Structure 1
Amino acid sequence: MKRFIDLTHCITHQMPVFPADPAVGVLTHHNYQNGYFVSQIILGTHTGTHIDVPVHKIKGGRTVDEVPVERFAQKAYVMDLTFLKPLEEIKRGHLEKHAEKIRGVNAVIIKTGWGSHFGKEDFFTSFPGISEEAVGWFKEHGINLIGLESPSVNAAEHAKIHTLLLQNDIYVVESLADVEKIAAEYVEFYAVPLKLKGLDGSPVRAFAVEE
């Protein structure tokens, strides 16, 4: 029997957002006065559990509506790196032991345990991240989609590492929730964005399916 694991943080008007990103707004537009309920939401493209696409860091890069939908639905290897300390970078040495496991897949979900920090002061500042050498390793091994519990790819050099990943056609789903609930080594990973014309990213409803 298939088991579905929701990996998405609930979007609320009080949820934490990355520093300098727009806050979430939820407004009531119709409150049954005409017989129906309609809300208006105001949020950034990188709110909560979301995906980044190339134009986020590369002028003229692919926008979220231009990426084939199958990129966001793939078999993924769940990589356990829960030993990482705050601010520690993922290095080649951490990844090499997983080289055989990722044969035949193009997506990884990196399990660090950082999702438990969501809502805490250090969530946006002290997370373990991807190093430049790790970007090279992922590219060499054909990885084109990475799921992270952290809100960005690297706390100290997020701009540089973001750019490197996207230049190498590696997309990142950030701020995954409840990754610790995944028990299987391999899952079907879905993180499908809204089809937003010309934009740089989107919140997603991310989930994993265990067989």
Structure 2
Amino acid sequence: MPKVRHVSPPSFPMTYRLPDDYPNVTEIHMSVHTGTHLDSPFHFINDGPGMDALPLERMYGPGVVWHLPDVEAYKVVEPEDLMACTPELQPGDILLLDTGWWDKCGGTPEYEKFPCLSQASAEWLVEMRCKLVGIDNGTPEMAKDMRPEGWKWPVHHTLFSRGVLVGEFVRNMKALAGQRVEVLFLALNLAGADGAPARVISRPIN
């Protein structure tokens, strides 16, 4: 299960186990930013809403799946890269963005050179009235070793300040690339949380 590198690895110890105990019971020990998950605005905005304050309609609806071909290490995805994708993003859509970087998850050296959205791309998504953007790596932000001094997580702040949610470590998008889809982010309703694990379900819109 992938995670961002500054949090503890997940573990799932069994506190009870058959046949000595009844029934089998497993505990979950992990950051809410582990595996496929949805960030709430509270992740970066102290007075922003937590997971339980997000309306359900923010987490589902029509959208598009875009694949960015031949993405190189540290690629900065600019608005022109997004505008070249099809089908067009419509107001209120969810965007699922497949950079191909999911295949490098799991602690590979290549993973830490992941691509990112530029602040201009975040602003473009706001202008297009995208309501949620999901990406296949652990953050839409610049990779850590490329961040300049004084860097302040501009993509998250731009999106969250305008009501756009962020999903991370979204996987298995290739089969739907280039299609309009229905998307559901089935995130746990954790009270006051800055994020939550999510199961993402999508299907083509015929």
TM-score over 0.5 (shorter chain):
yes
Partners of 1:142 and 1:167 in 2: how far apart? 13
Structure 1 residues 26 and 61: alpha-carbon distance in aligned structure 2, compared to 1, 3 A threshold: same
What CA distance in whole angstroms lies between the structure 1 residues aligned with 2:110 and 2:26? 29
TM (norm. structure 1) is 0.85
- Report the aligned-residue RMSD: 2.0
1:1-211 to structure 2, matched below 5 A, reads 15-32=1-18, 33-98=20-85, 101-122=88-109, 124-154=111-141, 155=143, 156-157=146-147, 159-183=153-177, 185-211=179-205
Q: Relative to structure 1, is the Cα distance of residues 186 and 132 closer, same or farther in structure 2, using a 3 angstrom cutoff?
A: same
Unaligned runs of 5+ in 2: none
Percent pairwise identity: 24
Q: Which moved more, 1:193-202 or 1:75-84?
A: 75-84
- Distance in 2, matches of 1:84 and 1:163, equals 24
Partner of 1:5: none
- Give SS of 1:202's match: strand
Q: Is the 8 A contact 2:64 2:87 kept in 1?
A: no
What is the CA-CA distance between 1:82 and the residue it aligns to? Answer: 2.1
Letter aligned with residue 153 of structure 2: A
Say whether the 8 Å CA contact 1:123–1:151 is kept in structure 2. no
Distance 1:169 1:209 in 2: 24
Which amino acid in structure 2 is aligned with residue 192 of structure 1?
Answer: L
User: Cα 1:123–1:54, aligned 2, differ >3 Å: closer, same or farther?
Assistant: farther
Alpha-carbon shift at residue 83 of structure 1 (Å): 3.1
| Separation of aligned partners in 2, 1:16 and 1:128 | 16
- C-alpha distance in 2, partners of 1:54/1:23? 23
Matched residues in 2 for 1:194 and 1:120: separation? 26
**What is the aligned residue count?**
197
Does the 8 Å contact 1:123/1:150 carry over to 2?
no
The answer on whether the counterparts of 1:46 and 1:203 sit within 8 Å (CA) in structure 2 is: yes
* Residues 99 and 25 of structure 1, relative CA distance in 2, 3 Å threshold: closer
Structure number having the greater strand percentage: 1
Instruction: Give, in angstroms, the shift of residue 176 of structure 1.
Output: 1.2
TM-score (norm 2): 0.87
Report SS of the residue matched to 1:134.
helix
Q: Show structure 1 runs of 5+ residues with no match.
A: 1-14
